[in-house]
C-alpha cells in the first residue's frame, strides 16, 4: 500500500500564514487538497506552496497518547503544576525547567522572537539544538483515519489544534530518548498548552497569559541521546498513528 505526504504552506509577503500536513493513500489526495485549501481560503495570502511526495517507508504507532485536562486559576499555578510533573518525569532540576519555560514565554530565539522549531534539553540542563533559532521541527505524522478521529475529538470539545498537537506529541514520545515535552501556542489568544509524558497528553489551561504572542516547544531528552538520530527520526521518518 503506498502512502503520500502532502504539505501545504501559505504565506503573505513572505510571512507564514497557515500550514497543513497530511499522510494519506493516493485515492485521498484530491479530497485532502480541497480540505486544506478550505482551511486557508478565507485568509489573505499571496503564495501557496504544496508538496506531494511518495513515502518510501511508513511506520505505525499503536495509539495516540491519552488526553487529560487540568484547569487552573492562573498561568503561574498552571506552570508550577507542569514543572512539578516534568521534573519528576525527567529528573531535571525544577529551576532549570522553569528558566527554559520562561524563555519560551518571552521569545526563545537570540533576537527574542519565537524559535522556528523546538528546543532540545538533556537531563544535565544542556541545550542540544544544532541551531538555537531554528530548533527542531517534528513533521511527517498523521492519524490513520484523521476524519474519524477529528470527529471524535470535536465531540469531546477539542479543537483541530489539539488534533495536530496530539499527533506531534505522540510521535515525539514514541522516541525512546524523549522523556517529555512542554508546549504553548504562539497564537496570542490560545492559552491552553500541554505537557506530554510517556502515554499521556496533559492539556493545561491557562498555560500562558492571554495576549502573549510568544510560544514554542521544549523536548526533554536523555543525557546520552544521539542527536543526529533524533533529528532524523523527528524530521524524516513518517508515522501513522492508529485510531
Ligand atoms: C490543545 O488544545 O490541546 C493544546 C494545543 C497546543 C497547540 C500548540 C500550537 O499551536 O502548535
pLDDT tens readout for residues 178-221:
999 999 999 999 999 999 999 999 999 999 999 999 999 999 99
Average pLDDT over residues 56-77: 98
| Residue 37 pLDDT class (50, 70, 90 cuts) | very high
| Residue 40 pLDDT class (50, 70, 90 cuts) | confident
Above pLDDT 70, what percent of the chain?
Answer: 100
| Dihedral class, residue 209 (left if φ above 0, else alpha if ψ from -120 to 50, else beta) | beta
What sign results for the dihedral spanned by CA atoms 65, 66, 69, 70? negative
pLDDT tens across 217-242, in order? 999 999 999 999 999 999 999 999 99
138 Cβ below 6 A of ligand 1: no
Average pLDDT over residues 161-189: 97
ipTM of this model? 0.97
68 Cβ below 6 A of ligand 1: no
Residues whose CB is less than 8 angstroms from the CB of residue 164 and which lie 6 or more positions away in sequence, other chains included: none
199 Cβ below 6 A of ligand 1: no
Nearest to 116 by CA among 201, 27, 15, 194: 15
Residue 179: CB atoms within 10 Å: 23
For the chain, the average pLDDT equals 96
What is the rounded distance in angstroms from the CA atom of residue 165 to the CA atom of residue 4?
Answer: 21
Burial class, 147, CB count within 10 angstroms (exposed 0-12 / middle 13-18 / buried 19+): exposed
- Is-contact 57 236, C-beta < 8 A? no
pLDDT of 1 higher than 90: no
Ligand 1 mean position, distance from CA 215 (Å): 10
Average pLDDT over residues 33-49: 93
Ligand 1 mean position, distance from CA 1 (Å): 31
Q: Give me the pLDDT at residue 39, please.
A: 85
Amino acid at each position: 500500500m503506498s502512502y503520500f505526504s502532502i504539505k501545504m504552506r501559505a504565506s503573505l509577503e513572505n510571512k507564514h500564514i497557515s500550514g497543513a500536513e497530511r499522510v494519506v493513500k493516493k485515492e485521498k489526495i484530491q479530497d485532502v487538497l480541497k480540505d486544506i485549501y478550505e482551511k486557508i481560503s478565507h485568509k489573505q495570502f499571496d503564495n501557496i506552496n504544496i508538496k506531494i511526495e511518495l513515502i518510501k517507508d511508513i511506520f505505525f504507532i499503536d495509539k495516540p497518547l491519552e488526553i487529560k485536562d487540568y484547569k487552573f486559576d492562573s498561568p503561574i499555578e498552571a506552570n508550577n503544576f507542569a514543572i512539578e510533573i516534568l521534573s519528576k518525569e525527567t529528573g531535571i532540576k525544577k529551576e532549570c525547567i522553569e528558566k527554559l519555560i520562561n524563555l519560551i514565554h518571552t521569545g526563545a530565539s537570540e533576537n527574542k522572537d519565537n524559535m522556528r522549531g523546538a528546543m532540545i534539553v538533556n537531563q544535565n540542563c544542556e541545550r542540544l539544538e544544532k541551531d538555537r533559532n531554528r530548533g527542531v521541527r517534528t513533521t511527517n505524522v498523521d492519524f490513520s483515519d484523521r476524519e474519524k478521529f477529528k470527529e471524535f475529538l470535536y465531540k469531546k470539545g477539542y479543537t483541530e489544534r489539539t488534533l495536530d498537537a496530539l499527533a506531534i506529541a505522540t510521535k515525539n514520545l514514541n522516541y525512546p530518548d524523549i522523556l517529555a515535552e512542554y508546549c504553548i501556542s504562539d497564537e496570542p489568544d490560545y492559552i491552553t498548552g500541554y505537557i506530554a509524558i510517556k502515554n499521556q497528553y496533559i492539556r493545561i489551561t491557562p498555560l500562558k497569559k492571554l495576549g502573549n504572542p510568544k510560544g514554542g516547544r521544549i523536548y526533554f531528552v536523555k543525557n546520552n541521546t544521539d542527536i543526529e538520530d533524533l533529528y532524523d527520526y523527528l524530521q524524516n521518518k513518517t508515522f501513522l498513528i492508529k485510531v
